[in-house]
Amino acid sequence: MGERAVGKVAIVVGAGQTKGETVGNGRATALLLAREGARVVVADRDLESAEETVSQIKAEGGEGVAVRVDVTVEDDIEAMVALCLAQWGRIDILHNNVGVSVLGGDAPVTEIDAEAFTRIMEINLRGMVLACKHVIPVMRKQESGVITNISSNAVLIDYPYITYKTSKAGVVALTENVAITNAKYGIRANVILPGLMNTPMAVERHVGEGGVSREQVVAQRDARTPLRGHGGDAWDVAHASLFLASDEAGFITGTSLVVDGGQSLAAG
């Protein structure tokens, strides 16, 4: 157990995960924050998966509580905040990790279905706006707090699907807005732009397509990452999140941290 988040209370939205052989970004972040001493509200649309994350936290001696949250439902977000306050009386860290692309019906701009566009924007961007809306008043009263939003390096590269790229660019703008409008309250806000991560959500849906094995999917993704010739994993995102939430990053706000092994540089 570390000490970089001792005494902190964190909400990690999207801290369950789809099933797969590896760990997802949200779960890894929740686990790492707990290992470093934080008490963690584990929020996810899939309550069973959230409870699995909490079980792992408790098995390592940490503190956590699970809550079902659909980020498109504002009442769910309000209930999540109320639960955290009832449980631990404060909110020091808000980590927003929810996002969807092709599985939500994303497509190139000439092929996008209007309803799919609206739905993905609600999940990827509107959900983060609402989480910030309800957590920031708590942090203002405390005169402290850290918000970390997960975007994507899809913002920087030639990414083909219109809604994901647009929504993730919106997450960057949201974060910058939150940072500058809340700096006077001692609140920091930053955004992480992950690249090709070996997570269940990113990898498992491709396994079996055209007879492709999991190993082949991972190898294809690895080949697109310059640094050491292999992609990252959820722990790379989690460690970046821990740093941004820690006192070591106490003078960092409004920044975009790219965690992609150089992929966006190679892509131009």
Strand partners, 191: 149, 256
Per annotation, catalytic residue among 159, 161, 164, 185:
164
φ/ψ region of 228 (left if φ > 0, alpha if ψ in -120 to 50, else beta) reads left
Q: What is the pLDDT of residue 229?
A: 84
Structure tokens at 56: 């792992």
pLDDT above 70: percentage of residues in the chain: 95
pTM attached to this predicted model: 0.94
Decide which of 17 and 52 is more confident. Answer: 52
The CATH code of domain 9-261 reads 3.40.50.720
Neighbours of 224 (CB within 10 A): 17
> Cα–Cα distance between 183 and 138 in angstroms, integer?
14
Q: What is the pLDDT of residue 212?
A: 74
pLDDT digits (tens, 9 = 90+) for 187-237: 999 999 999 988 766 666 666 676 777 677 777 878 889 998 888 999 999
φ/ψ region of 69 (left if φ > 0, alpha if ψ in -120 to 50, else beta) reads beta
* β-strands 187-194, 256-259 pairing: parallel
Q: What is the pLDDT of residue 268?
A: 53
230: DSSP letter? S
Residue 18 pLDDT class (50, 70, 90 cuts):
confident
Q: What is the secondary structure of 82-138 as a DSSP string?
A: HHHHHHHS---EEEE----SGGGT---TTT--HHHHHHHHIIIIIHHHHHHHHHHHH
pLDDT digits (tens, 9 = 90+) for 235-260: 999 999 999 999 999 999 999 999 99
| 72 contacts: CB under 8 Å, gap ≥ 6 | 119, 122, 123, 126, 127
Query: Which of 8-12, 118-122, 197-201 has the lowest average pLDDT?
Result: 197-201
Residue 246: phi, psi to the nearest 5?
Answer: -85, 165
Query: Which of 17-26, 49-58, 89-98, 138-147 has the lowest average pLDDT?
Result: 17-26
The answer, yes or no, to whether residue 25 has pLDDT greater than 90, is yes
Average model confidence (pLDDT) for the chain? 94
Residue type, 166: T
Is 159 catalytic? The answer is no
Q: Report the candidate in 124, 123, 131, 126 with the shortest Cα–Cα distance to residue 78.
A: 131
Task: Compute the Cα dihedral for 248, 172, 89, 30 and give only its sign.
Answer: negative
Q: What is the pLDDT of residue 72?
A: 97
Residue 267 pLDDT class (50, 70, 90 cuts):
low
Query: Which of 92-106, 138-152, 206-220 has the lowest average pLDDT?
Result: 206-220
